[in-house]
Amino acid sequence: MGRGKIEIKKIENANSRQVTFSKRRTGLLKKAKELAILCDAEVAVIIFSNTGKMFEFSSSGMKHTLSRYNKCKDSSEAEVVEPKTEELCLTEKEDSKMVDILQDEIAKLETKQLRLLGKDLTGLGLKELQNLEQQLNEGLSSVKERKEELLMEQLEQSRVQEQRAMLENETLRRQVEELRCLFPLTEHIVPTYLQYHHMERKNAFVDNGVKSSSLFSICANEKGDSDTTLHLGLPTDVHRKRKAPEKETFSNDS
């Protein structure tokens, strides 16, 4: 029967832990010795127990093995550090080159911009000036085309707004016609405030004139009657009574 697997964890029992430590320690040192003999390898093992005791094994001497270990460690660290410094130097050089390239590009773009604005043209020849003129003409034509496109878009928008306004006016006109059909208007035109005030003044003047003329005629009649009555020596009541049958006879004769 095979041995069962043991769970790798700290042994809580102190006695069992000590027995296991001694057994595993001797087995580890035995395996290190066998490895050094079989493979002709330099092996060194150092073990410290939980109580502080040290156990070691070295096939070629512990000092020799440790010095060799330190040399190998220092050389490996130097090899690791040197590539980093070389990489840093390379990156710095590349960065400086990129900075120089970008500065040159910025200077070229600035001079190009100044030439497009019509400045700093002293160092240019005839051919370069012709190329610059062609570039400016092409840019101007593209600007004009874009301007025409914007104007056409605005014109189209104004047309659409005009059509909407016409449709709204048409709908309002139809609504007004429908309201007129439902509620027909009278033919009498209502005058404004000024016209109404002028008409009132005119009517008042006409009424006053009629009243004054009627009063004048009445006064005249009364005056004539009074003159006749005074001339005949009759009282006014008698004259009125005599005048009444005369009017009646006149009406009957007619």
- Report pTM: 0.32
Q: Which pLDDT score is estimated for 117?
A: 80
Terminal-residue alpha carbon distance, the chain: 171
- The pLDDT score that the predictor gives to residue 161 is 93
Q: Residue 4 carries which DSSP code?
A: P
Please give the mean pLDDT across all residues of the chain: 75
pLDDT in tens, 42-62: 999 999 988 888 999 998 888
pLDDT, residue 32, reads 92
How far is 23 from 3, CA to CA, in rounded Å? 16
- Please count the other Cβ atoms lying within 10 Å of the Cβ belonging to residue 111: 13
CB-count exposure of residue 164 (10 Å: 0-12, 13-18, 19+): exposed
CA 176 to each of CA 29, 155, 218, 231: distance values in angstroms, whole numbers, following the listed order: 115, 31, 57, 77
Return d(Cα 96, Cα 232) in angstroms, integer: 148
Say yes or no to pLDDT of 234 above 80.
no
Q: Kindly state the tokens that stand for 59.
A: 């096939």
Query: Nearest CA to 241 among 251, 230, 229?
Result: 229
And the tokens for 249? 């006879």
Say yes or no to pLDDT of 5 above 70.
Answer: yes
Angstrom CA distances, 103 to 27, 106, 107, 119, stand at 70, 5, 6, 21
Task: Give dist(CA 74, CA 3) in Å, integer.
Answer: 44
What pLDDT is stored for residue 43 in this prediction?
A: 93
**Amino acid 191: pLDDT:** 53
Q: At what angle do helices 236-253 and 193-232 cross, to 10 degrees?
A: 110
**CA 120/CA 115 separation, integer angstroms:** 6
Higher pLDDT, 30 or 238: 30
154-200 residue pLDDT tens: 999 999 999 999 999 999 999 998 888 887 655 445 455 555 556 66
Is 145's pLDDT higher than 70?
yes
Q: Say yes or no to pLDDT of 221 above 90.
A: no
Whole-angstrom distance, CA of residue 113 vs CA of residue 115: 5
The CA distance from 166 to 160, in Å, is 10
Rounded to a whole number of angstroms, the CA Rg of the chain reads 67
The per-residue DSSP string of 16-50 comes to: HHHHHHHHHHHHHHHHHHHHHHHHT---EEEEE-T
State the pLDDT at residue 140: 86
Q: pLDDT of 97-127, one tens digit each?
A: 888 888 888 988 888 888 778 777 777 788 8
Q: What is the pLDDT of residues 73-99, one digit of tens each?
A: 887 766 555 555 666 666 777 888 888
Q: What percent of the chain has pLDDT over 90?
A: 21
pLDDT at 143 over 60: yes
Residue-level pLDDT at 185: 56
Mean pLDDT computed over 245-250: 48
DSSP 189: P
Domains and CATH numbers, the chain: 14-60 (3.40.1810.10)
